């Protein structure tokens, strides 16, 4: 599906769907290599490869060289003309990007498989719980008798 000609175009598209952070510390989806996830994504979209092809065929041939604002304009035009394929590409891009463990810490989430470590979260002390629930307890019963 991807070759030396269309891979740079796809990377440029992906970098517009999820752009890098302004300080450059968080890469965009193209630079991260999300393109490599797309051919494996048939489990998550019935025609992943077809959707990618549709969008690649629809963007201008000189997409990579366009200034950033013109890239966005071109993609909005493609989105309007090929809604279903574009939505599929967006969804798969998000999946490919956020399934990368090295991306999760940028959003405060651990890179590790979530089991067996999980996260250390302390239980509230009895004193804190007493203080927080005091106004609720002070109001008394808030259910109806049914008899």
Partner 1 sequence: MQDDPVDVLIIGAGASGAAIAWSLLETRMRILCLEQGPHLEDKDFPSRDDDYELARYGEFSCDPNVRGLKQDYPINADESCITPVNFNAVGGSTINFLGHWPRMKPSDFRTHSLDGVGADWPVDYETLAPFYDMNDRNTGVSGLGGNPAYPDYTPELPPIPMGKLGQTLAKGFNEKGYHWWPSDVSILSEDHDGRQKCVNAGTCDLGCAAGAKGGTNFSYWPMLENAGVELRTGARVREIRVDKSTGFATGVLYHGPDGQVHEQRAELVVVACNGVGTPRLLLNSKSKTFPDGLANRNGLVGKNLMFHPLTGVAGVFDEPMLGHEGPMACSILSQEFYETDPSRDFVRGYGLHSGRSTTPMTYALGGYGIDNPIPWGAEHREIMDNVYPYLAGLTIVSEDLPEEHNSVTLDSDLTDSDGIPAPKITYKLGENTRKMLRHGEERAKEILLAAGAKKVLSKNDDKVWWRAGWHQMGTCRMGNDPETSVVNGWGRSHDVKNLFIVDGSIFPTAGAVNPTSTIQAMALYIGDSIKTKIETLFD
Residues that bind partner 1 (CB under 8 A): 16-21, 26, 43-44, 72, 75, 87, 90-91, 93-95, 97-101, 103-104, 106-109, 113-124, 128-129, 132-133, 135-137, 139-147
With respect to partner 1, which residue has the nearer C-beta, 6 or 79? Answer: 79
Distances (CA, A) of 43 to 8, 11, 48, 89, 96: 25, 22, 9, 14, 12
DSSP string, 24-84: SSS--HHHHTGGGTGGGGGGTSTTHHHHHHHHHHHS-TTGGGS-HHHHHHHHHHHHHHSHH
Least distance (Å) from partner 1 to the CB of residue 143? 5
Least distance (Å) from partner 1 to the CB of residue 51? 14
Least distance (Å) from partner 1 to the CB of residue 142? 5
Least distance (Å) from partner 1 to the CB of residue 54? 16
With respect to partner 1, which residue has the nearer C-beta, 127 or 136? Answer: 136
| Phi, psi dihedral angles at 137 (to 5 degrees) | -65, -35
């Amino acid at each position: 599906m991807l070759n030396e000609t269309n891979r740079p175009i796809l990377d440029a598209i992906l970098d517009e769907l999820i752009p890098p952070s302004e300080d450059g510390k968080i890469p965009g989806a193209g630079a991260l290599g999300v393109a490599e996830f797309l051919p494996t994504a048939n489990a998550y979209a019935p025609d992943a490869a077809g959707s990618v092809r549709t969008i690649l065929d629809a963007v201008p041939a000189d997409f990579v060289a366009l200034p950033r604002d013109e890239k966005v304009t071109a993609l909005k035009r493609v989105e309007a003309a090929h809604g279903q394929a574009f939505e599929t590409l967006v969804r798969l891009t998000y999946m490919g990007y956020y399934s990368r463990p090295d991306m999760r810490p940028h959003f405060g989430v651990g890179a590790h498989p979530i089991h067996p470590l999980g996260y250390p979260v302390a239980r509230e002390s009895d004193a804190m719980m007493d203080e927080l629930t005091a106004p609720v307890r002070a109001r008394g019963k808030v259910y109806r008798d049914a008899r």
